[in-house]
């Protein structure tokens, strides 16, 4: 058993793909300072913060009150998720 490569050297000269770095910014464009500072989305967090005491209240109660509070938490979480989605008209702009 031999571990020496016996293939002809011409096989290695088939070609090497050309790899180049492309500078995406124009030379006269100002350099950006990196990522912008993170700012909280208060429209989202208001629903999350409203759901926290409702969740606590739902864990401390029983019966129909607990059920109503759990539904309230579900509604608030759905409103928070709705804030993350882009607004749109659904299929109103769709034409067949």
Q: Domain limits of the chain?
A: 60-85
pLDDT at 47 over 70: yes
pLDDT at 30 over 90: no
The whole-number pLDDT of residue 43 equals: 86
Q: If residue 68 lies in a helix (H) or strand (E), which one and from where to where?
A: helix 64-84
The pTM assigned to this predicted structure is: 0.54
Rg (CA), the chain: 30
Residues 80 and 44 sit within 8 Å (Cβ to Cβ): yes
pLDDT at 11 over 60: no
């Amino acid at each position: 058993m031999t571990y020496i490569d016996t293939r002809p050297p011409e096989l290695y000269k088939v070609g090497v793909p050309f790899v180049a770095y492309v500078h995406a910014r124009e030379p006269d464009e100002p350099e950006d300072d990196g990522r912008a500072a993170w700012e909280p989305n208060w429209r989202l967090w208001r629903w999350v913060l409203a759901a926290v005491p409702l969740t606590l209240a739902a864990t401390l109660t029983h019966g129909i009150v607990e059920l109503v509070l759990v539904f309230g938490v579900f509604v608030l979480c759905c409103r928070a998720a709705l804030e993350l989605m882009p607004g749109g008209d659904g299929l109103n702009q769709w034409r067949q």
